[in-house]
A and B are shown apart, each in its own frame.
Chain A
Amino acid sequence: MGWGGMIAQSLDKQLPHGVADLFFNDAARKRAVERALADTFARWGYSEIIPPMFEYYESLAAEAGPQLREEIYRFFDRDGRTLALRADFTIPTARIVGTKLFDRAMPLRFFYIGSVFRYKEPQAGVRREFTQAGIELIGANTADADAEAIALAMTALSATGLNDFLFTLSNAAFLQATLCDLALSDADDTALRDAIRRKNATALAQRLAALNLDTTRTRALAQLPTLWGNADVLDRAICINDDARAAVERLRDVVARLAQFGLADFVTLDLAENRGMAYYTGILFEGFVRGLGFAVASGGRYDHLIAHFGHDLPAVGFAIGVERVMMLQRTRASIAPDVIAQICDARVFDARAGGQAVEVDVSNRDDAALREYARVRGAREIWWRDGRIESVIASEAKQSPNRKLETPALACGASVALSAKNASSQ
């Protein structure tokens, strides 16, 4: 169709779709979020795991599910083997544990922070390269482990300054149990799950009418779009077998523990939820913060993923989207030095050793130019060559470039404060 394309431009000064350069305030804020998260995870007894950025596609695609598998970046090494960039941290961690750490004292507690790569359209801070920070708690299939993961996700968000959140708690095992032994065709199964996922009661009722299942099963499935809200959904849920009952009881246990931690007000329930990774087998949760229409944290229990790598170990984990936290934050990191010194003398080294950020003029500026530079950089003081200390008067110009970062997109509803102290003292 004619000359539809634009004239080809040299790419050397451009960026591919879905990646970003971070510097100044953005880079500082990102690191501040990462530090707050890493510190929190460490205080809960988690140590860092650093898997490679790329490995064999076969490892990373294991149990990834069709959607994530499509999104994995793939390339070839020189021997023609297919490599891939990591698309999450859970699968690499499962590989490491399943192949190397399976005989250690359980549970293992790992945290991670780093880039993951997915070939899809950027959405609300999730670019094609984006940053996940999260944990995996491996080797314990208990309500205590589930509750710890959820409480830690809440505490971690709170550590980044986000307190206005609510988590949706669900159990993949409930839907699994309610759908078990149905022997549906792929098309029927997909349509049924899609209607449930979208809470489309009308479409679900039509599907169920066409499938002609027994009455109890039909009622249990038809009820799913209404099973969300407070803990009363656990009493209302129709359980058609022991597995479904166990799934509901597990949720009850987890909610009870969260209540003990003082976190009950931060949870709502949803028994129809079946989003998330294909490897999830139990508790599922997503954290939402007022002001963003997308989940900031999501996680769940995956009891059979590690088995793929040789040893069957139950596990639960979550990831927080670092860029999404940054979108919601009201705080601002500073990249301004405390002091600008005209010369690099002993004072400067002492001050740095004492924890101050001291920047030395290496451009031989005259006094007026150095004053102007100190003002632009936002320094508090200038230390002159002769030992004088001068305070710098903050100017408006310095503030304005960052202003847009301070106001979140939306501000609605009442604010709630997380009692993180309660949570961590348990």
Chain B
Amino acid sequence: MSNLTIALAKGRLLNPSIKLFESFGYDLRAARDSRKLVIGSQGAQFVLAKPMDVPIYVEYGAADVGIVGQDALRERGANLYEPLVLGYGACRLVVAGKREPGDAEWKTLAGLRVATKYPRVTKQYFSARGLSAEIIEVYGSVELAPMVGLADLIVDVVDTGHTLRENGLVELDEIFKSQAALIVNRAAHTLRVSEIRSLIEKINGLQINADKLG
């Protein structure tokens, strides 16, 4: 798996991803300690990118493989292979709002306004239900939007649901579950068969061992 360019999503997936590759013998201390964006180790090149950018880096072949949350993957809709899920970074993409739990009325409302960092998935979700939601794309603190009257609902990832509760929001529906996934560029999959196969086998071996150890 030498000479591969590997894109790692920054943020909450970065530490477990670094640990994964350190367990294969790569030196990724620079990824923890510095602001470097490109780190070479033993012939491989690691690129640190925003989660939403990782699918694009890999789809265009700027990186051969990447590790990213399935939430970003679904939002970007990139044409890729995703041969492995990695068992960390679990979260859920949900619809939430200030409504009472069990209130289904929002599913019939016309003129809903929805704030989200996931406009594509949100649009798919609402239009699949025949709802013409107005989607407001925001870049951070999505929970704020219903509190200040910017939106009726939000679509966002939740981990424990703590942030939702703290801001007086309740979960109304789950859109999908997400976790970290290995993604592979389609050209690299053909051009670098042995490197990609070796990486997949290494991660698989690790997961089998982890399962055995409980």
Closest to A273 in B: B186
**A293 lies within 8 A of B61 (CB):** yes
A290 and B3 CA atoms in complex are apart in Å by: 13
Could you tell me the distance in whole angstroms from the C-beta of B88 to the nearest C-beta in chain A? 14
**B190 lies within 8 A of A290 (CB):** no
Check A202/B85 contact, CB under 8 A, given A292-B187, A412-B3. yes
> B24 at interface (Cβ–Cβ under 8 A)?
no
Stretch at the interface among A155-163, A193-201, A339-347: A193-201
A410 and B61 CA atoms in complex are apart in Å by: 9
Main secondary structure of the interface of B (DSSP, over half): mixed
**A268 lies within 8 A of B82 (CB):** no
**B197 lies within 8 A of A198 (CB):** no
> A124 at interface (Cβ–Cβ under 8 A)?
yes
| B187 partner, pick from A201, A230, A295, beta carbons under 8 A | A295
| A293 partner, pick from B83, B85, B186, B197, beta carbons under 8 A | B186
**A288 lies within 8 A of B187 (CB):** yes
Residues of B within 8 A of A295 (CB): 186-187
A124 and B187 CA atoms in complex are apart in Å by: 13
Residues of A within 8 A of B188 (CB): 293
- What's the tally of chain B residues with a CB closer than 8 Å to chain A? 24
Residues of B within 8 A of A168 (CB): 189-190
A286 and B187 CA atoms in complex are apart in Å by: 9
Q: Mark B67-90, 1 if CB is under 8 A from A, else 0.
A: 000000000000011111100000
| A413 partner, pick from B82, B191, B197, beta carbons under 8 A | B191
**A200 lies within 8 A of B190 (CB):** no
Residues of B within 8 A of A201 (CB): 83-84
> A110 at interface (Cβ–Cβ under 8 A)?
no
Check A413/B62 contact, CB under 8 A, given A199-B83, A201-B84, A293-B186. no
**B83 lies within 8 A of A200 (CB):** yes
**B190 lies within 8 A of A166 (CB):** yes
A229 and B82 CA atoms in complex are apart in Å by: 16
Could you tell me the distance in whole angstroms from the C-beta of A121 to the nearest C-beta in chain B? 11
**A229 lies within 8 A of B197 (CB):** yes
| B190 partner, pick from A199, A286, A291, A412, beta carbons under 8 A | A286
| B82 partner, pick from A167, A198, A293, A294, beta carbons under 8 A | A198
**B83 lies within 8 A of A225 (CB):** yes
> A228 at interface (Cβ–Cβ under 8 A)?
yes
**B60 lies within 8 A of A124 (CB):** yes
Could you tell me the distance in whole angstroms from the C-beta of A414 to the nearest C-beta in chain B? 10
Residues of B within 8 A of A412 (CB): 3
A192 and B135 CA atoms in complex are apart in Å by: 30
Could you tell me the distance in whole angstroms from the C-beta of B185 to the nearest C-beta in chain A? 5
A201 and B86 CA atoms in complex are apart in Å by: 12
A291 and B60 CA atoms in complex are apart in Å by: 10
For B181, B185, B189, the residue with the greatest tally of chain A CB atoms inside 10 Å of its CB is: B189
For B60, B61, B189, B190, the residue with the greatest tally of chain A CB atoms inside 10 Å of its CB is: B190
Binding site for A on B (CB under 8 A): 3, 58-62, 80-85, 181, 184-193, 197
A-B contact list, 16 entries, CB within 8 Å? A198-B82, A199-B81, A202-B85, A230-B193, A270-B190, A286-B186, A288-B190, A291-B61, A293-B62, A294-B61, A294-B186, A295-B186, A295-B187, A410-B61, A412-B3, A413-B3
Binding site for B on A (CB under 8 A): 124, 166-168, 198-202, 225, 228-230, 268, 270, 286, 288-295, 410, 412-413
**8 new A-B contacts at CB < 8 Å, known A288-B191, A293-B187:** A124-B60, A200-B85, A230-B193, A288-B186, A291-B61, A293-B58, A293-B185, A294-B186
